[in-house]
Each structure stands twice: as structure tokens, then as C-alpha cells.
Amino acid sequence: MKVLGIMGSPRIKGNTDLLLDEALRGAQSRGAEVEKLVVDKLNIAPCREYYRCLKDGNCAIRDDMDDIYPKLLDAARVIVASPIFFYGLTSQVKALIDRSQAIWARKYVLKQHLPESGRKGAFIAVGATRGEKLFDGSILTVKYFFKTIGIKYVDELLIPGVDKKGEVKEHPTALSDALELGRRLAQI
Ligand SMILES: Cc1cc2nc3c(=O)[nH]c(=O)nc-3n(C[C@H](O)[C@H](O)[C@H](O)COP(=O)(O)O)c2cc1C
């Protein structure tokens, strides 16, 4: 089983990165083949609304998304991991999600058949504050992204109150919860 982890934070070895690594380690411990995309290190332009994708399902922009589209459609499990920036996902991961409009066009406009059956995904997020709605906007975005690429949103790990680099290591359960999420995801 292929598990694709999308690491949306620009901070390497920061909270999101540490949580995603644990989740991928959990999936690996259940025999999954894992791959991590560090979105900040990739060249992914924001969507420019050229709308070439409406004609043939392909984006007009040539960059690292060329290699990412097949990965999004091939992985049996996808984990999106992001810190909360202004009540949303980071712009790095949002660019990747917006560029999935090409997949949306293949599915809903061109009525192409996309691989869907049994593919599942999870969301991992971390934020500094503890506001009641801290994760709401990002959850909606990730759910709609998953729906577009044919993935069922089945799990989440949402950690409020964590701010400094690596502070998540001091959280009583976050890292073990991430490991468990990865194990669960690879087994369901
Ligand atoms: C540009 C920016 C915007 C942020 N916006 C929020 C926010 O709206 N709510 C919040 O609780 N934390 C916010 N934070 C704090 C981060 O979510 C927090 O520091 C998180 O632990 C960073 O995770 P990372 O180490 O994985 O990058 C923001 C941080 C930055 C840099």
C-alpha cells in the first residue's frame, strides 16, 4: 500500500514535520510504502486560471505538479499535514490543492473515470492558539480536496496550543497519536 504524506510547513523538523514523520512511521510499521512531499522545497506555482484544464484535464503550467498529479491519483492513502496559518492551510500546500483543479476538471467537466475505490486520507494540523474554530476552515478545504481526487476523509489529528519549533515533542500525546493514526490508516 502506498501512503503519500504532504508536508505543508516551511519549517523542517517543526511541529507538522515531526507529526507527519510519526504518522508515516506508523504506516510503515504496518507494511506500507511511504513517500513524503515537502511542499516548500518543490516548485509549485499557484493556479493562474488559464483554464486549459477544462479542455483536456491538463494544467498549462509546467512545474513539479507534473510529477505530483500521478502520485495523488496513485496513492492508496494520502495524509495532508499543515500548520494553521491565519485560520487556513499554508500557502504552499494550498497552491498544491488549488492546482488539483486539473483533476477536478477531468472528473466533473470531462467526465473521466478516476481511480477511487477504497482510497482514504487523513488530515494532521497544528496551531498555536486554542480557538474553538481553529481547524474548521482547513478541514473543509482538505475534505473538498480529498473529494476531488477521489479520497475519503477518514481520520484527523488536530493539535492546538503548540507554537515553537519542535514544541509538539512536549505535548503529552500528539506524537503517539500521530503514530497511531498512521498505523490505523495503513490497516483500514
Ligand atoms: C504566517 C503565520 C500565520 C499563523 N496563523 C496562525 C493562526 O491563525 N492560528 C494559530 O493558532 N496559529 C497560527 N500560527 C502559528 C503556527 O500555526 C504554529 O506556530 C505552528 O506550531 C507552526 O507549525 P510548524 O512548526 O509545523 O510550522 C501562524 C504562524 C505563522 C508563521
**φ/ψ bin of 150: left (φ > 0), alpha (ψ from -120 to 50), beta (otherwise):** left
> Atom 31 of ligand 1 has which residue's CA nearest to it?
85
pLDDT at res. 188: 80
pLDDT at res. 67: 98
Compute how many other C-beta atoms are within 10 angstroms of the C-beta atom of residue 169.
11
- Ligand 1 centroid from CA 150, angstroms: 29
> Atom 3 of ligand 1 has which residue's CA nearest to it?
85
- Ligand 1 centroid from CA 122, angstroms: 20
pLDDT at res. 29: 97
CA of 168, closest atom in ligand 1: 21
Instruction: State in Å, rounded, how far the first CA of the chain is from the last one.
Output: 11
pLDDT at res. 117: 81
- Ligand 1 centroid from CA 86, angstroms: 7
**Residues of the chain below pLDDT 70:** none
> Atom 4 of ligand 1 has which residue's CA nearest to it?
85
Tens of pLDDT, residue by residue over 72-110, are: 999 999 999 999 999 999 999 999 999 999 999 999 999
Q: What's the chain's average pLDDT?
A: 97
Burial 88-97 (b: 16+ CB within 10 A, else e): bbbebbbbbb
Distance CA 13, CA 78 (A): 20
Identify the residues whose C-beta falls under 6 Å from ligand 1. 9, 11, 14-16, 83-87, 126-129, 134, 162-163, 165
pLDDT at res. 82: 98
Which helix (H) or strand (E) element contains residue 36? strand 33-38
